[in-house]
Amino acid sequence: MNLSWISARGAGIAAYSLLAAGTMWGLLLSSKMLAGRISTKSLTFVHEALSVGALIATIIHVAAILTDQYVGFTLVDVLVPGATSWRPLAVAFGIVALYGMILTSSTFYIRRRIGQATWRAIHYLTYGVFTSALLHGIKAGTDSHGPLAVALYGGTGVVVLALTAIRVASYGEESPRTTRTATARTATARTATARTSAARTATARTPAARTVKSGGRTPTPRHPLGSDPWSGSSPTGSAATRPERSPDR
């Protein structure tokens, strides 16, 4: 056991742990389980930090392997799947996981250019990246059968599987924050509509509005009996019923 092997193994375990944590965090983020408790910006920042951290640890893991003389890996062996003769399938899983991490981590910085739909589609590859890293750790790790390694791989695998089931079950459901926003917008729209209706009703009741409706003529008030008793007209339209005034009046 030399320093290069310790560095390679330690960086590998750290890379897998960060990748598993990033995968779990991404599932919590997409399933809206933390919506309303933590801001979306903070959730995305943590997810990005875990993903980038896993990628950096993986690069250190690969660099340490190249310096280790036990197997004698070449650059082609650690970059081309199936090129090495030492556990080619296990190493191939690790190489696939490396390329997957590079792809998914880089999308954080081009998200606005590629759009939300493309960004999300690419991040679905995280399931394959995590599975490849898990199989690489189990098959290539020299101490993968130890109790700590079994607890790490088994525990993270079960948690990711459970969170994936929850994510699938909650697919299409709106988050509480989204629901509250939609409810608030509906209430605001209803209030605005009610105020508009009240304003229109008040406008229709004003004298100016009645004048407009009557064609610009102000309606003449009618006598309670239906006619002016001194105007020469009666409810029946006859002028004979008008009383005559005496000359001395």
**How does pLDDT run across 97-139, given as a tens digit for each residue?**
999 999 999 999 999 999 989 998 999 999 999 999 999 999 9
231 falls within a domain: no
Domain extent for 201 = 180-213
* Token duo for residue 73: 């890996």
Contacts 24+ apart (CB under 8 A), 130-134: 130/19, 130/20, 130/23, 130/97, 130/160, 132/93, 132/94, 132/96, 132/97, 132/100, 133/15, 133/16, 133/19, 133/93, 133/94, 133/97, 134/16
Pick from 173, 205, 234: which residue ends a domain?
Answer: 173
Report the number of distinct structural domains present in the chain. Answer: 2
> In this predicted structure, what is the pLDDT of residue 44?
86
Q: Is the pLDDT of residue 233 over 70?
A: no
pTM comes to 0.68
> CB neighbours (10 Å) of residue 72?
10
219 falls within a domain: no
194 falls within a domain: yes
Are residues 98 and 191 located together in one domain of the fold? no
Please report, as a single letter, which amino acid is at residue 194: A
Are residues 154 and 196 located together in one domain of the fold? no
Determine the Cα–Cα distance for residues 24 and 138; give it in Å rounded to an integer: 19
Question: What are the pLDDT digits (tens) for 155-185?
Answer: 999 999 999 998 888 776 544 444 454 455 6
Who wins on pLDDT, 170 or 11?
A: 11
Q: Is the pLDDT of residue 228 over 60?
A: no
207 falls within a domain: yes
229 falls within a domain: no
Beta carbons of 22 and 51 less than 8 angstroms apart: yes
Closest CA to 97 of 4, 5, 22, 7: 22
244 falls within a domain: no
Are residues 10 and 86 located together in one domain of the fold? yes
Closest CA to 149 of 136, 162, 160: 136
CATH number for the domain harbouring residue 117: 1.20.120
Are residues 200 and 138 located together in one domain of the fold? no
Please report, as a single letter, which amino acid is at residue 160: V
Are residues 36 and 68 located together in one domain of the fold? yes
Are residues 62 and 7 located together in one domain of the fold? yes
Please report, as a single letter, which amino acid is at residue 236: T
> In this predicted structure, what is the pLDDT of residue 96?
97
Are residues 187 and 84 located together in one domain of the fold? no
pLDDT band of 208, cuts 50, 70, 90: low
> In this predicted structure, what is the pLDDT of residue 230?
45
Give the up-direction half-sphere exposure of residue 3: CA atoms within 13 A in the CB hemisphere. Answer: 1
Are residues 185 and 163 located together in one domain of the fold? no
* Token duo for residue 96: 């696939």
Are residues 64 and 45 located together in one domain of the fold? yes
> In this predicted structure, what is the pLDDT of residue 240?
46
227 falls within a domain: no
